Structure 1
Amino acid sequence: MRAALHRHGPLAAGLALLVGLWAGPLVGRAETSFAAHMVLHMGLVAVAAPALAFGLARSVPAVGRRVSARFAILAALTEFALVWSWHAPALHDAARRETAVLILEQGSFLLAGLLVWTAAFGTAEGARGARAAGVGALLMTSMHMTLLGALLLFAPRPLYRCGDLCSPLATLTPLEDQQLGGVLMLLVGGAAYLTGGLALLAGILDPKREGAAPA
């Protein structure tokens, strides 16, 4: 029992986090609040996705074993394209107004996060080049999330029409709501990927670990 819990517990915890995000009140709030929408997004890519990726690596080791450097970079580029595309005004407003589009958006966020974190955990056991690619994938993601968060925070006006249309009774103005969402992306998204990248980098720079790693 203890061995099964040790092996499958992280995956179960990741699934519980995912259920909490998608079955809780955040989905409804995400339609009327940009900040709540961002909490849902960050919960998926910076909390649930790494937990699920770690759980999959523990429960089904073959899933992420020996991930290639190319896969890690492609995963990071995929997440970059998806995150920035879904934050384009037309697509974001559509996701706030249409449940089907919201499901597609959030599903793609989860998939992108899983790709990056699975690549990072998979390369952690590989050769130095693969591990460097895993570090690069996480740091690249941290940088573009930081940039997008800063854009949302410092934009002089609301970037989305839904700020007025979807939440007429909100206590925050559309610009304040957008700024709060930008802060959340900076503090949660940028920090989570940065921390993961630096942790993997520490493994590369550890001479004891390097001596045992395959060439």
Structure 2
Amino acid sequence: MRVTGGWPLAVGLLLLGWLWLGPLPDMARRAFSPHMILHLGVAVTAAPLIVIGLLRLSPGRGTLRYPVLVAVAASALEFAVVWGWHAPAMHEMAARSHSRFALQQLSFLVAGIALWWACLAGRTREELAIGGVATLFASMHMAMLGILLILAPQLIYAPQFCLGAFGLRPLADQQLGGGLMALFGTLPFVAAGAWIASRLARQEPAGRR
């Protein structure tokens, strides 16, 4: 039962292996939309699967001792990692070096796991509500970054690191990356927020028990 219940962990780890060992890392250092596909695959697909699998394997151990502190710290870390690595100087620095690129990808995973743990590990009404606020904040700043990239009238990143992919010109490729961020960086958090809201609706306030 424990192995069966933990299948999201296995899927998340397999996905992570495919993302990091497949063709995307090399493409991501030369074009923006593959970078965004890789980022979203790690942070909002593999990371929540890993967290869900760990929580299923250890029910009750995910209870947050200091839910507000955990949520604020995880949200701040994830915000700093996402916006920091997408600043032109940081993005280009990572693209120039294998070791810095690996650090970038590892930070996406660590920040993603921390945030999804803060969002999904709650059990009490307070913890669930705090997790819901964290999902809302994450969806908002991911959408904001994506929209800024879509609306940029020119390349934000140096041309040698934004050559274009999938037959697209560099600017269109950058805008595609922004669109992926705005849509697929937001939807998982919206879905998580809806799941949290449904759990809150099913729980009775403490005073009524």
Instruction: Mark yes or no: TM-score above 0.5.
Output: yes
State the SS of the aligned residue for 1:106.
helix
Closer/same/farther in 2, CA of residues 157 and 136 from structure 1, 3 Å limit: same
Evaluate the alpha carbon distance shift between residue 184 and residue 64 of structure 1 in structure 2; reply closer, same or farther with a 3 A threshold. same
Residue number in structure 1 paired with 2:99 = 100
Amino acid at match of 1:26: L
* Code of the aligned partner of 2:135: L
AA matched with 1:40: L
User: Match for residue 150 of structure 2?
Assistant: 153
Q: CA deviation at 1:211?
A: 5.4
> Deviation string for 1:111-150 (max 9, x for gaps)?
1110111111211x12x22211100111100000000000
Structure 2 Cα separation of the partners of residues 144 and 185 of structure 1: 10
Residue aligned with 1:210, SS: coil
CA spacing shift, 1:73–1:139, aligned 2, 3 Å: same
Cα 1:213/1:47, change in 2 over 3 Å:
farther
Compared CA separation, residues 214 and 182, structure 1 to 2 (3 A): farther
Q: What one-letter code is carried by the residue in structure 1 that aligns with 2:187?
A: A
Aligned Cα root-mean-square deviation (Å)? 2.1
* Contact 1:41-1:106 within 8 A present in 2 as well: yes
Inter-CA distance 211–186: structure 2 relative to 1 (3 Å threshold): same
| Separation of aligned partners in 1, 2:95 and 2:187 | 26
Partner amino acid, structure 1, of 2:160? L
Task: Name the counterpart of 1:58.
Answer: 56
Matching residue of 1:136: 133
How far apart, CA to CA, are the structure 2 residues paired with 1:130 and 1:85? 28
CA distance in 2, matches of 1:91, 1:39: 18
Q: Alignment partner of 2:179: what SS?
A: helix
Instruction: Say whether the 8 Å CA contact 1:64–1:119 is kept in structure 2.
Output: no
Instruction: From the superposition, tell whether residues 169 and 194 of structure 1 become closer, same or farther in structure 2 (CA, over 3 Å).
Output: closer
Whole-angstrom CA distance in 2 between matches of 1:35 and 1:50: 22
Provide, for residues 33-73 of structure 1, a one-character-per-residue CA deviation record: whole Å limited to 9, x for no partner: 10000000000111001000001111233552235222012
Shift of 1:185: 0.4
Where does the alignment leave 5 or more consecutive residues of structure 1 unmatched? Answer: none
Give the Cα separation in 2 of the matches to 1:187 and 1:167.
21
- 1:158 to 1:120, Cα distance in 2 relative to 1, 3 A: same
Provide the rounded CA distance (Å) in 1 between the counterparts of 2:92 and 2:193.
32
Identity %: 41
Question: Gaps spanning 5+ residues in structure 2: where?
Answer: none
Please give the per-residue CA displacement for 1:185-206, whole angstroms capped at 9, x wherever unaligned: 01111111121112212221x1
